[in-house]
Structure 1
Amino acid sequence: MEKGGRVMDFGSQVKKLRTSRKLTQEQLAQKLNVSRQTISGWENNRNLPDLEMVVMIAKTFQLSLDQLILGDSTMTTKLMNDSSETRKMRINLYVTIIMTLTGMGCFLLFKIIGSSLDSNGVLHEPFFLIPIGYLFLLMGLISGFNYLFKKLRKRN
């Protein structure tokens, strides 16, 4: 949508849609299950909604996503960055799971292989699996904390 020959920003677009349907910020906030301050923040371009909320806004105003977001390059960029961040978070979660399972697998393998004494009285055991197991568990723990901190930061 255009305003005065230029592309209309997302905030102006939401405000125009809201006022054209004679909705107050409070009424729109109730429909979208957010606070009135959130609507105000969008309309004044202090922040932008995430993709899930953009879909809800489009449904509320019976618009396609193209009609709602493609006119605003800031919104398009934000949604692309959100998508990239979500992909990174998913990879981080997979790395956490793989590292943790590999660490536990090392301990299990150590127990399965066990130890033995040969005829010369030399002990044979896969002792190297223990530090490797701890290393993988530590890496999984670090990766898991990284995932949690990013997830918490994204919420706030």
Structure 2
Amino acid sequence: MEFSDSIKQLRKDNKLTQEQLASKLHVTRQAISNWENNKNLPDIETLIEIATTFHISLDQLILGGTNMNKMTEKLIEDGNTGRSAKMNLIATVIGGFLMLGGLACFIIKSLSVEYIDAKGILHENFFLIPVGFAFLATGILVIVVTLGAFLYNKKRLSK
């Protein structure tokens, strides 16, 4: 059973109008109408409120039976989208820190003092230049790959 059928049946079984149900759930009557006409679906907080109001389990409300319906697909997609967004954010932050580390290497190199000691040995932290470039390149690569994955997933989901 689709969510639209479930919510309409629950409302009718409890002898409620769309306005009365909307008042109980703190939404508009148009939201109830859209749910019942399968135009859109409620968010998870509203689903919990519906289940509490009608004293039914979320499984019964969402699944309505054994078949996967649009509500179940929406919840799965929302979960995947949330995880993907979180991973993109983490990867972007890591890329940003790597780039900052590269810039820090260059700043330290530019501010450090190079000298020749009494034995004629040059003391210079030359290693900071390749390390700085490695950090910058890695940071840029992480951000570019993350952006590419984001755009690929966005294109794939829009189809």
Q: Taking structure 2 as the reference length, what is the TM-score of the superposition? A: 0.67
Task: Name the CA distance, whole Å, in 2 between partners of 1:30 and 1:94.
Answer: 40
What is the CA–CA distance in structure 2 between the aligned matches of 1:46 and 1:32, rounded to whole Å?
A: 18
1:53 and 2:49 aligned? no
Change (3 A) 1:24 1:142: farther
Q: CA, structure 1 residues 134+33, in 2 after alignment: closer, same or farther (shift >3 Å)?
A: farther
CA offsets 1:93-123 (integer angstroms, 9 cap, x no match): 11122112222222223333444546599x8
What is the match of residue 63 of structure 1? 56
Counterpart contact for 1:100–1:141, Cα < 8 Å: no
Alpha-carbon distance in structure 1 between the residues aligned to 2:24 and 2:54: 11
Q: In 2, distance between residues paired with 1:14 and 1:100?
A: 46
Rounded to whole Å, the distance in 2 between the matches of 1:43 and 1:118 is 79
Q: Deviations over 1:2-30 (max 9, x none)?
A: xxxxxx22111101111222222222223
Q: Which residue of 2 aligns with 1:109?
A: 105
Report the equivalent of 2:17: 24
Q: Is the contact between residue 18 and residue 29 of structure 2 (CA under 8 Å) also seen in structure 1?
A: yes
Gaps of 5+ in 2: 155-159
Matched, 1:39 2:32: yes
Share of identical aligned residues, percent? Answer: 41
C-alpha distance in 2 between matches for 1:33 and 1:136: 46
**Contact residue 98 and residue 135 of structure 2 kept, 8 A:** no
RMSD: 3.4
The question of whether the paired residues in 2 share the 8 Å contact of 1:50 and 1:82 is answered with: no
Instruction: Extract unaligned runs of 5+ from structure 1.
Output: 1-7, 151-156
Alignment partner, residue 9 of structure 1: 2
Single out whichever of 54-63 and 107-116 deviates more from structure 2.
Answer: 107-116
- Pair 1:102–1:54, CA change in 2 (3 A): same
2:105 maps to amino acid:
L
1:98 aligns with 2:88: no
Q: Kindly state the Cα deviation for residue 135 of structure 1 after the two structures are TM-superposed.
A: 7.2
**Number of aligned residue pairs:** 140
**TM-score, normalization: structure 1?**
0.69
Alpha-carbon distance in structure 2 between the residues aligned to 1:86 and 1:135: 25
**Which one has a bigger Cα radius of gyration?**
2
Secondary structure class of the residue paired with 1:40: helix
